[in-house]
Structures are given as C-alpha cells and as structure tokens.
Chains A and B, each alone.
Chain A
Amino acid sequence: MDYSQFLNMHDEISLIAVIVILFLADLFLCGEHKSEMASKAMSLLPSGLLLLQTAYIASALICPCGNGIVDAFGGMYHNTPMMTLVKVVLNIGTIIVFLMANNWLKRPENQVKEGEFYLLTLSTLLGMYYMMSSGHFLMFFIGLELASIPMTALIAYTKNNQESAEAAAKYILTALFSSGLLLYGISLIYGTCGTMYFNELACKFDTNNTLQLVALVLFISGIGFKISLVPFHLWTADTYQGAPTTVTGYLSVISKGAAAFVLFTILFKVFQPMIEQWDIIMLWIIIFSITIANIFAVRQNNIKRFMAFSAISQAGYLVLGVMGGTAQGMTSLVYYLFVYMVANLGVFLIINVTEQNSGKINISDYNGFYQTNPKLSFIMTLCLFSLAGIPPFAGFFSKFFIFMAAFNAGFPVLVFIALVNTVISLYYYLLIVKAMYIMKSNEPIALFKSDSYSKIAIVICTLGVVFGGIISCIYGYIDILSNLSYGM
C-alpha cells in the first residue's frame, strides 16, 4: 500500500494534527488545578490552531496546483476546490462556536472537561470532512457516523442536566434508526450494482429498478435526518432545546450545512440518472419542511425551540439549491450556507450570552431588552432581518440567488410557495424584534457585559450579515469554483 497517499488528504490530515495537538495540550495542561496560564492557553489554542488550519487549506484555494482535484486510495477519497471551500466555511463557523463556548467552558462545573468539548467538536468536523470528500459509500457512511456519535456526547455535555441527557438520548436513537435505514439503502445499491464507488455507480442505475429507487429514498432519509428535513425532523426541537446553547448553534449550522452540501454532490454525482425521481421527492420535502416548520415556529416561547423550527425552515430553503442539480444551484447553496451561518450563529451568540448572564431563554423574557441592552438587541435585529431575508442584509441576497437558481431550474411553483413562506417567517422573526423593542416589561434582563471572546464572534457575524450581500465578489468567487467542480 502506498502510504504517501495519506498526504493527498491535506485538509483531513491537518485537522487530525490539530486534534492531536489539542489532545496532548489537554492532557498536560489541564490537571485538577489549572494554572492561570494553562487556562488562558486552553482558551486561545483551539481557535488559534483551527484558524491556522483554515488558512492552510484556504491557501490551496488561492494558489491551486493543477485543477485542484485530488484523488486518493483508488477513488475512495475525492476532493475538489469547492469542497475545500465548504470546509473553510465550516471551519469559520466552528471558530465562531469556539469563541462562543469559551466563557461557558470556564464555569467551575465544566472546567474539568473543557478539553473534551474541543476534541469532540473537531471529531465531528473531521467526520463531515470525510463525508464530503468521500468517493465511496462506505467512506461516506463512516464519515457520517463519525459526525454523529461524538455529537451525541456533545449534546449530553452537561450530563447532570436531565434535559441535556434526554436530548442526547433522543438524538442517538433517531440517529441509529436513520443510520440503519441508510445502511439498508446502501446495501440495496451494492446488491443491485455490485459496486459502491461513486464514479462507477452513475452508469449502473436504472430508473425502472424498484430496489434502486427504494435505496434513493433511504439515502435521502438518512441525510435528511442530519439536515432535519420534514418528515425526518421530529428530533430537532427536543434536541435543540435540551442541548447546551453552543452545541445547538453548532448543530444548527455546521452539521446541517455539511449534510446539505453532501446531499447535493451525491444526488448530482451518483443519482444523476434518477434526477426526475429525486426532484419530485425533494420538491415535497422542501415544501413540507418550510411550511410545517413555519407553522410550528409561530407559537414557540422557548427561544431555542423557536430557533429549532427556524432552522428546519431555513434548511428547506437551503436545499432549494439542490433542485435540478445545476451549477447555479450549487453556488447559491454554498452562498446560502455561508450567509445563514453568520446570521444564525449571530442569533445564537446573543442567546448564549444572555443565557450565561441572566439564565433566561424564553422569548417573553426578551421584553424590554432594547432598553437595557440596546447594542445586543440591534445586532440581534440585524441577524433576524438577515434570516428573514430583508434587503440590504446578506440574507436577502442569499434567498434571492437560491430562488433564482430554483426558478431557472424550472420550479416556479416551488419558488412561489417558498416566497409565501418568507412572509410567514418574517412574521415570527419580527415577534422577537417586537419583544425586544416594543413590549414593556417590569423586570427586563439587566444590562450585562459580554465576554471579549463572544464580542469578537459577534463582530464577525455582524460584519458578515451587513457586508456579506453587498460585496458581490463572494458570490462570484463561489460561482467560479462551482463551475469548475461542476464539470467533474
């Protein structure tokens, strides 16, 4: 075996290096009694290393060698510049989550397991990397599981909290169930085609083969579980509510984004012959995801539960890019992911600092928030506007591009339904704005100072929300990469 092929997996190897370094640092720096220095180092090291790693993999984008496409182990591993770009985007999101988590991890009850949080998070990230860059169904499955199982541990991170434990139990049970079905689908594919390599499969599919169609549905359900699309979404609200807020943020953006991208690439690359069938399936899934999530979101009071339904509906918009499997769809999907990430993490950052400082997580608790914390309410408003798609914030442009992609792919009715739903979504996003600005409260959340790590993250998110849309070269750049990858 040619071990040098490992070196072709730049992105993954560098991430593993980060994990190993963090593991050692955790081992030696964090004993029972941490010194001031060690504590500081443990705050800076994960974000810093991940930033370095991001820079490293991004450098391959800036000066690509050849066409930037890498294959290893006979096609088991396959990476394109577009995938690297998505990894960079996910990394940025993870860094924001790390910054968000910092203050919470310094609490006495979390001190002893501070390092675990980073290791588990990065492990799931590694799983997503492999999931995206897989060239074989087994590889894909291993990546998926690697992304799921540490996630359960993360959700149960505050293990003495009953809600957290319950959320983790629900997550792992649903995950196992969906994995089982997915595995069954993969076995059907192997049984009918005799291979699991992506680049060999496309020509072996037959649209009249019932088993293969069942496999398609099972595949979509397996990945739909990760993106939390209706009807595979029911775990979402309970898990989001129970999980620690930072983990919820991570779950709602990073793991969802990676899965949506994989859905696109595999549907496009492997299930290309069945495009008519999966267009129909996705059409209904999207309509139901957006609509049902909106209907549920309207009457939530717990803000994390509310964000869970918002996330399901946003996921529906996100996978609009899948329709038709066009290059424009891929561009707008990745752009949507990026914009959704900054806006959603922005909201979670503020939920998190509020929860850390006041312990309040209900929408009604936010009444009068503007009077006491004007800056945070303003930024929250910006992020919510972006999620609702109000110009000139980034969310408007991302929605616009994704609607245009679906429209050009030939789904005007779907775009119309999605448009009607944006109106409903505007309504419930504005409910929070209304609570913050208009509603009066006898005891509003008192003024508090957020920690500096959260502040940095908030600034990054705000910049992304405000300028992510106006600076059009972002979309243009993604478009170039997507056209490059699309041909292959």
Chain B
Amino acid sequence: MEYTILILLLPFLSFLFLGLAGKWLSHRTSGLIGTTVLAAITILSYCTAYTYFTADRCADGSYATLVPYNATWLPLGHLNFDLGILLDPISVMMLIVITTVSFMVHIYSFGYMKGERGFQRYYAFLSLFTMSMLGLVVATNIFQMYLFWELVGVSSYLLIGFYYTLPAAVAASKKAFIVTRFADLGFLIGILIFGYYTGSFSFDFVNNLQMAEGTTPFIPCGIDKAIAAGGFILPTALTLMFIGGAGKSAMFPLHIWLPDAMEGPTPVSALIHAATMVVAGVYQVARLFPLWVTYAQDWMPIIIWVGVFTAFYAASVACAQSDIKRVLAFSTISQIAFMMVALGVCTEITTGHEHAGSIGYMASMFHLFTHAMFKACLFLGAGCIIHAVHSNEMVAMGGLRKYLPITHATFLISCLAISGIPFFSGFSSKDEIITACMAYSPAVGYIMTAIAAMTAFYMFRLYYGIFWGTENKELHTEHTPHEETIMTAPLVILSIITVGVGIYTTLAGFGLFEGYSFGSLISADGQDYRIHFDPSVASLSTIIAICSIALATYIFKGETQPVADRMYNAAPRLHRWAYKRFYMDEVYQFITHRIIFAYVSRPIAWFDRHVIDGFFNFLAWGTHTLSNNIKGFQSGRVQQYALVFLIGILVLILMIL
C-alpha cells in the first residue's frame, strides 16, 4: 500500500506546477493537467479501496487499520509531530468520496469556468484543496489532522474569494476564514490539552492497528495518565475539539459563514461547501469516536442537541430562502447536523447489528457518503441553472424543465434522494439515522423525522420553483437557456451513483443479497455494515416524506401559487424572520461591533499602542543609546582589544574560583 503516498503527492505537485508555471500555460492545458492528476489519484484511491476491502481480515472478522507510512516531522523530545497515512474503513471511504467528487468538479469546471480570468489559478487551488483534504482524512495523528485542517481552511478561503474583484466575495471569504479560525482555536486548545496529558497525538486508540515495516512507531497515548489527572480532562479536550469540528461543519451558532461562502464559484460550493470540507467536522468526531464513547459518554448530549437544533434551524430557514444556492447551503447545514446527531446517539462502538447502540456511527458515515454524492449533484445542477439564466434568484427561473432536461432529471433524482424516498440513496442512510435516534430516545427520533419532512418540503419547493411554475419570459427572450455536455456528464454520473446505491441498499434492506453487502464499503468500525430496516420507522418516514412532497406539489407546482401567497399573508413576520435567517448575522454584528469592539478591542488597542508599543520603542531607544555609549570599546586599537581580552579572562576566572 506504499503507493498511497502518491495520492497526496500528485495533487501537491500539480498545485506547485500550476501555481508556478500557470501563467505560461493555456487554459486548456492547465485544466487538463489538473484533471489528469485527479483522474490518476481517483484510480489510485479506487485501487486502494479495492485492495483494502478485499484484503485478509483480522481474526474477529474486522478490517485492520493499516499505517503504510508514518514519519516524524518535528521531534519535540517526548512529543513528536508525525506525518503519515492511516487507512481504515472510514478514511478509505473518504478517499473515494473526495476523489470522486473532486474529479467530477474538475471535469465540470471546464464548462462552468470557461474563459474566466485566473482559470489556471482556479485549478491550482482545486489541487491544493484536494491534497489538503486527503491529507486530513488519512492523518495518523491529531496534529497532522489539524495541519491539513488549516490548509483546507486556507484553500477554502482562496476559492471563496476567487472572484476577488467582487466585494461580496472578499467579505465572504474573510468571514469564512475568521469564523472557522475562531472555532479552530478550540480545536487547537483541545489538541494541546490532549497532547499535554496523554503525551501523544497519535490515533493509536483505534482498533487492530498494524504499522508497516520501516514506519516510525506511534508514541502510545497515555490515556490512563490523563484520567488519573482528572476525569474531566479528556471530555473537556474532546469538547473543545468538537467546537473546531462544529465550526468547520457549520453547526449552530458557528454556521454563519457557510451561506455567504456561496459567493465562490458554484463547482467550488459543490466540492468544498457541500461534499467534502464541511463534513470534516463530522469526520473528526468519528475519528475520535472511540474516545468519546469510552471516556466522554456523559458529554455526548452536547453533540446531539447542537445537531438537533442546527438541523431544525437550518431546515426552517431553507423554507424561506429565494436564492437557490442559499437553499442548498442551509440544506447542507441541516444534513450535516443529521450526521452529527447520528454520531451523538451512538452509545457503543462494538460491532454487528445485534448491537443497536452502534447503528448511529455507521449511519452517520453512510449518510456522509450518500449526501456527498447527491448534494454535489444538486450543487452542480444549480451551477448549470445559474450558468443558463445568469442569476441565483428563483424569481429568474421557473419552467426551466423544457430547456434543461438532463439537469432537470438529475436534480429531481437528487431531490428524491435527499427527501428519503425508497430506492434512492438518501432513503437508506437517513432511515438508519432515524432508527438510531429512535433507539436512543423516541423524542429525538420524532424530532428528526419531522425535520426530515421539512427537508422534503423545502427541496420540492426549490425544485418546483426552478423547473415548474411561471416562466420568466423577459429574461429568456434574449438567449434561450441551454446546457453543455461537459457539465451534464458529471451530473449523470453522480445521479447514477445515487440511484444505484439507493436501489442496492433498499433491496439489501429488504433482505436480499444476504451475506454480501455494499455496506462493506461504508463500514465504520472494521465490521461489515448491514443495512437493516426497522419496518415501522421506514414506513413512517416514507409516508411522511411523500406527504410533504405532496404538500409542496400542491402549494408550489402551479403557475400561480394562491396557497403560498395566503400562507405568506397569514404570517408575514415569520416568513421575514426565516428569510433573514432569524437575524443571526445581525446578532453577530451586534455582539462583535457593539460589545466586543467597543468594550474589549478598544481598550486592548489603547494598551497595545501605548504600553506595548511604548515598551518596544523604549527597547529600541535604549539599545540605540547604549550602543552609542559603549562604542568606545570598538576603538580599532589592538592594544585595547588585548586588554579587554585579558580582563575578560580574569573576570571569568574570578567567577568560578
């Protein structure tokens, strides 16, 4: 498995090459270089996955965790910073997700970004992002994860601000960077606490660890030492790390950056802000899950309730947005919250489907996979629509199904998947999550079912708003909207994955294909993941999903929408609140500008300007003055030099005698 190092190296080299030599290359060449490299690492990732999942298992039937490569980067005495590659079922699954979506986005961008200024720069950044994200998922230790975590943040910043001439894009990129950096502070403190008390950063607590020959061995985690130092230490560290994860995964109240991040090019939104980077927080919690479940079980409701509230909040905001990318952004927040909740309700890590407590973990990772595929498809579809009508607003759309047939079909498939209709991938994964929630507490289960119903409702509101309803003839007279093959091909591939996975898992859930399951690919803890339905949960959520779709159809399908208008007139304030995202941004503005800037920053600035700067000015002045006063020593006379030499020796002798 040594070739896995290429998966990281190739995109890095491609980034360097495109970044340095890009300006001498044509658009086409640089795009081709980026895409070819991505194709290569996609194939490598598939090879890795194939080798990994078909390799011999451990005695207890679970997958081994392989570390084909690990080396000390910075030796710090007892605590080392390592860099390496760790392969276990979730990291291999992530390799597939990231490379697949990234590859699709690379192809798609040929059409979407055609003729843009900075095309080469765009592909260079995409390579950088892919490298950092892959480095994050295969990290062998928390520190490496953090390193690539920040790199991911940087590349996200660069890509959101890609149109750097637009003030909105610049503001959005700054906002995204600052908010996630703020959350990352928690992550960093958590890492430092963890490293200080356990004496290690490595993930050596995962099961069945197998180090390859010639790799630097892990420094074992002194979990016992940390517990001995106080029972609250590990939970505190984990919770602080969760804050970092919540920032990256846009959990309430750190979600405010994600809707604004939609200012970036749409393929970037699909890759970074829907499929891969935003799930880094979920992945981080999943990676540290053995610690959570063993040492911080009592603190896990934090994850659940943050998740539940975020899911609800984002779903309700999504119902009122008019910008299609914003709707998708809030839908993403809500779906990621589903994954978080699924992790939170998981009460044990032991395997097999007789252990009801461990469903959540697998369901979360499964949903991560399916969501990445259909959400990328939705975003890329939205990109096609925006490309065709040159607007993000739903008002400019309507009746587009005639002009964009392929986009329409794939968009519908993805909407059905996210709504949880059987035979589409979202059904299986979401159903698993709700089953897991039900097993934990019926209350959480029912809330999540209700949010799933809201999901179906707003997705179909979006769908009807774009493809049905009144056509905006004025806009369409100038040029007929059309779609390009290079942009629709990725949509088709992604929707085939969505349908294929959906049919397979649904049938598997009904008891077909016993003994061999697609779930092997999604396996979370080393054991095969068996799709298993709780008939009552499955039927309930299906019925509810169908009902909300029917409701959305009733309200939004027609040319005129009397019901929608009546609802709006009945509660205009509620609509306005939801449209304004419950004024969360304004709350932040108030807190930062009115409170923090005025009462914290200003005094600090004064202190900085007068006391700190004063101290350094004093230092500089002192140095200069002293320098002037003692320049006599450097007289140029050798006799004096010898004298100083001799006196120096005498002083030193006196000192030690």
Contact = CB atoms under 8 A, between A and B. Distances in A.
A221 B645 contact: yes
Interface centre among B74, B641, B652 (most CB of A within 10 A): B652
A231 B626 CA distance: 17
Nearest to B636: A238
Given A170-B638, A408-B77, A281 B623 contact: no
Interface stretch (A336-344, A444-452, A471-479): A471-479
A210 B623 contact: no
B76 interface: yes
B49 to A, nearest CB: 30
A92 B649 CA distance: 34
A181 B652 CA distance: 14
Nearest to A331: B75
A232 B648 CA distance: 8
A295 B621 CA distance: 11
Contacts of A214: 653
A284 B655 contact: yes
B628 interface: yes
A328 B644 CA distance: 33
Contacts of B624: 298-299
Interface residues of A, number: 46
Nearest to A173: B638
A277 to B, nearest CB: 4
B543 interface: no
Given A296-B627, A299-B624, A472-B75, A174 B645 contact: yes
Given A220-B652, A221-B649, A472-B72, A213 B642 contact: no
Contacts of A423: 619
B596 interface: no
A479 B75 contact: yes
Given A231-B644, A234-B634, A475-B75, A213 B653 contact: yes
Given A277-B656, A281-B652, A284-B655, A472 B627 contact: no
Interface string A323-367: 000001000000000000000000000000000000000000000
A295 B623 contact: yes
Contacts of A476: 72, 75
Contact of B627 (A169, A174, A232, A298): A298
Contacts of B77: 328, 404, 408
B517 to A, nearest CB: 43
A218 B649 contact: yes
Given A210-B657, A214-B653, A296-B634, A472 B644 contact: no
A217 interface: yes
Interface string A389-405: 00000000100000010
A231 B648 contact: yes
Interface string B625-642: 011101101101010111
Given A221-B648, A295-B623, A280 B638 contact: no
Interface in B62-84: 71-77
Contacts of B611: none
A427 interface: yes
A473 B73 CA distance: 7
Contacts of B648: 221, 230-232
A164 interface: no
A235 interface: yes
B651 to A, nearest CB: 8
Given A234-B633, A472-B74, A284 B652 contact: yes
B655 A234 contact: no
A177 B642 contact: yes
Interface in A171-206: 173-174, 177-178, 181
A479 B74 CA distance: 12
Q: Which of A170, A214, A234, A294 has the most CB of B within 10 A?
A: A234
A101 B75 CA distance: 38
Kindly state the interface size class of chain B when it binds its partner: 20 to 34
A427 B645 contact: no
A174 B628 CA distance: 25
Interface in A205-241: 210, 213-214, 216-218, 220-221, 225, 230-232, 234-235, 237-238
Contacts of B76: 404
Interface in A227-284: 230-232, 234-235, 237-238, 277, 280-281, 284
Contacts of A280: 655-656
A234 B641 contact: yes
A281 B634 CA distance: 23
B389 to A, nearest CB: 46
Contacts of A181: 649
A295 B627 contact: yes
B113 to A, nearest CB: 31
A424 interface: yes
Contacts of B642: 173-174, 177
A424 B641 contact: no
Contact of B619 (A174, A408, A424): A424
Nearest to A328: B77
A298 B620 CA distance: 9
B185 interface: no
A397 B648 CA distance: 32
Contact of A234 (B72, B627, B645): B645
B75 A217 contact: no
Contacts of B75: 472, 475-476, 479
Given A237-B634, A296-B631, A231 B645 contact: yes
Nearest to A238: B636
Contacts of B628: 299
Contacts of B72: 472, 476
Nearest to A407: B77
A299 B656 contact: no
A217 to B, nearest CB: 5
B140 to A, nearest CB: 15
A284 B624 CA distance: 22
B9 interface: no
A276 B645 CA distance: 23
A237 B635 CA distance: 10
A476 B619 CA distance: 38
Interface of B: 71-77, 619-620, 623-624, 626-628, 630-631, 633-634, 636, 638, 640-642, 644-645, 647-649, 652-653, 655-657
8 contacts: A216-B656, A218-B649, A232-B648, A281-B652, A296-B627, A472-B72, A472-B74, A473-B71
Ranked 6 nearest A-B pairs via Cβ: A231-B648, A234-B641, A277-B656, A295-B627, A217-B652, A472-B73
Given A221-B649, A234-B640, A295-B623, 11 more contacts: A174-B638, A214-B653, A217-B656, A231-B644, A237-B634, A284-B655, A295-B627, A296-B631, A298-B627, A404-B76, A472-B73
Interface of A: 169-170, 173-174, 177-178, 181, 210, 213-214, 216-218, 220-221, 225, 230-232, 234-235, 237-238, 277, 280-281, 284-285, 292, 294-296, 298-299, 328, 397, 404, 408, 423-424, 427, 472-473, 475-476, 479
